[in-house]
């Protein structure tokens, strides 16, 4: 029996993981990361839905559609993290737990990556742990939900 659904969102260019800048993002593919997140969710009694989109509007629509349906959202918004106020607004209107996720540590990279429009509307952020971050984010969500 499931405790609910966790929505995992991945933004632009994350479908290129495994081939895009492996020195920064590693060699694991997005499929690999999603499989690890799904396994972690399953162990905690949750289903995991996943959407990757290069379109800001598709991500906003997914967040809006998750309202009242998904217990939590884990979001790796990619470059949209730094300027997509529509994601901020959609997440602010979402009624569940939000965890921000980044494979690399944006705060140790270019200065423009130091700003996040997601952070103010997230319960917390996980960054810099590579693919392990996907498991950590789902585990954090499950613990937050179980603690009420």
Note if 102 is an active site residue.
yes
Contact 73, 93 (CB under 8 A): no
CA distances from 35 to 14, 42, 52, 62, 91 (A): 15, 10, 14, 20, 24
Which of 80, 66, 90 minimizes the C-alpha distance to 8?
66
Residue 125 tokens, joined: 């952020």
Q: Is 88 a catalytic residue?
A: no
Q: ∠104-44-128 over CA atoms, to 5°?
A: 10
Distances (CA, A) of 74 to 22, 95, 110, 111: 22, 13, 24, 24
Active-site choice (50, 88, 102, 134): 102
Q: Considering 25, 46, 94, 134, which one is annotated as catalytic? A: 25
Q: Which residues have a catalytic role annotated?
A: 25, 102
């Amino acid at each position: 029996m499931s405790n609910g659904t966790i929505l995992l969102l991945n933004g632009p260019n994350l479908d290129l993981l495994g081939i895009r800048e492996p020195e920064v993002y590693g060699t694991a593919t997005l499929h690999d990361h999603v499989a690890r997140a799904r396994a972690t969710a399953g162990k905690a009694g949750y289903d995991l839905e996943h959407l990757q989109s290069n379109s800001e509007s598709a991500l906003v629509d997914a967040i809006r559609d998750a309202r009242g349906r998904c217990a939590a959202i884990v979001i790796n918004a990619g470059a949209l993290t730094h300027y997509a106020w529509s994601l901020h607004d959609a997440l602010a209107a979402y009624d569940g737990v939000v965890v921000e996720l980044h494979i690399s540590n944006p705060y140790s990279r270019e200065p423009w990556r130091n700003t996040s429009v997601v952070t103010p509307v997230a319960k917390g952020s996980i960054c810099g742990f590579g693919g392990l971050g996907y498991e950590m984010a789902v585990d954090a969500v499950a613990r937050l939900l179980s603690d009420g």
